[in-house]
């Protein structure tokens, strides 16, 4: 999705990516990122929870307007009430090694980019 967002942005259409993996989205160069602490495959919230999904969509659209710098992440304050159950229900007990490696690589790239943009 981050690559597609960059292509759409290059055509002059603004995008915002709602994701559970902001480090990966940052590393891939997504223009605007909205991070949610929801289980994978539920970026807008619980199935059939119209109100919750609309809140996330409205906040994502607000971020689309408010974010001024590329590759910026906004973390939404929503919490998944039964997150531990959902987290365990679909995931294997241990992440595959490739996921651990990808996650670490993405974190390192995102941190390096932050340090480059905000030297202290």
Q: How does residue 37 score in pLDDT terms, banded at 50, 70 and 90?
A: confident
Residue 6, pLDDT above cutoff 90: no
pLDDT of 99: 82
Residue 49, pLDDT above cutoff 80: yes
3-class secondary-structure state, position 19:
strand
Tell me if 29 sits within 8 A of 8, measured CB to CB: no
Residue 26, pLDDT above cutoff 80: yes
Tell me if 15 sits within 8 A of 32, measured CB to CB: yes
Give the residue ranges of DSSP H helices in 42-96.
Answer: 50-66, 83-90
Q: Report pTM.
A: 0.67
* Digit-coded pLDDT (tens) for 69-110: 888 899 999 888 877 777 677 667 777 788 888 889 889 988
Please compute the mean of the pLDDT values over residues 21-38 and round it to a whole number. 88
Please compute the mean of the pLDDT values over residues 1-14 and round it to a whole number. 84
């Amino acid at each position: 999705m981050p690559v597609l967002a960059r292509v759409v942005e290059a055509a002059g259409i603004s995008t915002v990516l709602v994701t559970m993996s902001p480090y990966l989205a940052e590393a891939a160069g997504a223009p605007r990122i909205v991070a949610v602490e929801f289980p994978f495959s539920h970026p807008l919230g619980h199935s059939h929870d119209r109100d919750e999904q609309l809140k996330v969509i409205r906040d994502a659209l607000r971020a689309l307007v408010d974010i001024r710098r590329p590759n910026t992440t906004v973390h939404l304050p929503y919490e998944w009430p039964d997150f531990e159950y959902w987290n365990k229900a679909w995931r294997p007990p241990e992440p595959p090694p490739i996921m651990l490696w990808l996650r670490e690589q993405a974190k390192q790239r995102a941190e390096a980019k932050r340090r480059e943009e905000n030297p202290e």
